[in-house]
Amino acid sequence: MLAFIIRRLLQSILVMLAVALVSFGLFRFIGDPIHNMVGQEATAAEREQLRQDLGLNDPVPLQFARFVGNALRGEFGLSYRMARPVTDVIMERLPATLELALISGIGALALGIALGVYTALRRDGWLSQFIMSASLIGVSLPIFLIGILLIYVFAVELQVLPAFGRGETVRIGWWTTGLLTESGLKSLIMPAITLGLYQLTLIMRLVRAEMLEVLRTDYIKFARARGLSDRAVHFGHALKNTLLPVITIAGLQIGSIIAFAIVTETVFQWPGVGLLFITAIQFVDIPVMAAYLVLIALIFVVINLIVDLLYFAVDPRLRVQRSGRGH
């Protein structure tokens, strides 16, 4: 078990280094930050001096080595755009993204499972048919379009929900939360739906398929033969056995919710790290981009590790196989 964790951690470090290297290779193609950093009156000599000061004239491998060295000490330098430490800026923005991801993830999971079970049990009901057809929207419409449609209907036409931003926030230590104020909660609704809709339909379809599969198995027939109530059969036996793959998928999806919040955050001007990243790309703010990509890689790596460990803990067959190989 310990060896497994250590091996996975070592692999994770390699993954992180690879991400950092690839992103550094890409930065050369994004453009030159100097133009954005000085006014139009700056002379060629002044531009060259700034480029020198920022170390942009150094070869890419050297810039990379310097970046990794600083990153290991938790230093990502100063944002070119805001002249503030990158770590501070990201920590300020992280709560917004995590709250949005968490709420939309939980919403997608809860609704996805409920609707999945419902559509599996009432396979031919008209409501199930409707839900299944409607779920195609979630899969096929691009996120930004859903967001803009929601804004048009609920902000511009009905004027019941705010079109942008996070509303009032409350500060708890270094964390800021919008979950404790009315405007914060109202602001959360549309971005959470936009971000979670795809995951919701994915989970719903997965639960439905798994549930249908399980309902055909022998032990469900035996359970019915024993005269157990529908409720006990559906939720006590069938759903329980459906959830294992759902948990795996949901775990992995949390990573992508955080990473792909970029589009939702841009549409709703949600002040999270995704929006920060987009602004950083436009400005060629290399320190912010590098730190963001490393952070996202870290989140993915950690979630994957946890999922692997959960598998290890939940599925007894894995343990048997591993110990068997050990002998």
- The secondary structure of 30-47 as a DSSP string is H--THHHHS-TT--HHHH
Only one residue has tokens 């919008």, namely 178
Q: How far is the CB of 51 from another protein (least distance, A)?
A: 10
Residue among 77 and 112 whose Cβ is closer to another protein: 77
Phi, psi of 174 (to 5 degrees): -85, -5
Indicate the residue among 47 and 123 with the shorter CB distance to another protein: 47
87 versus 128: smaller Cβ distance to another protein: 87
Q: List the one residue out of 272, 289, 271, 291 whose CA is nearest residue 280.
A: 289
Beta bridge partners of 171: 176
What separation in angstroms does the CA of 259 have from each of 19, 42, 142, 294?
14, 37, 16, 11
Q: How far apart are CA 200 and CA 136, in angstroms?
A: 11
Task: Give the Cα separation of 95 and 141 in Å (integer).
Answer: 28
Q: Please, what is the minimum distance in Å from the beta carbon of residue 33 to another protein?
A: 7
CA separation, residue 92 to residues 96, 97, 149, 286 (Å) = 8, 10, 29, 18
Q: Which spans of this chain sit near another protein (rule: CB under 8 A)?
A: 30-47, 50, 53-54, 77-78, 80-85, 88-89, 92, 148, 151-152, 155-156, 159, 162-166, 266-269, 271, 275-276, 278-279, 282-284
Nearer to another protein, 148 or 298 (CB): 148
Length of the chain: 327
**Shortest separation between residue 29's beta carbon and another protein, angstroms:** 8
For another protein, the closer of residues 77 and 138 by Cβ is: 77
Closer to another protein by CB, 86 or 204: give it. Answer: 86
Residue appearing with tokens 């979950």: 179
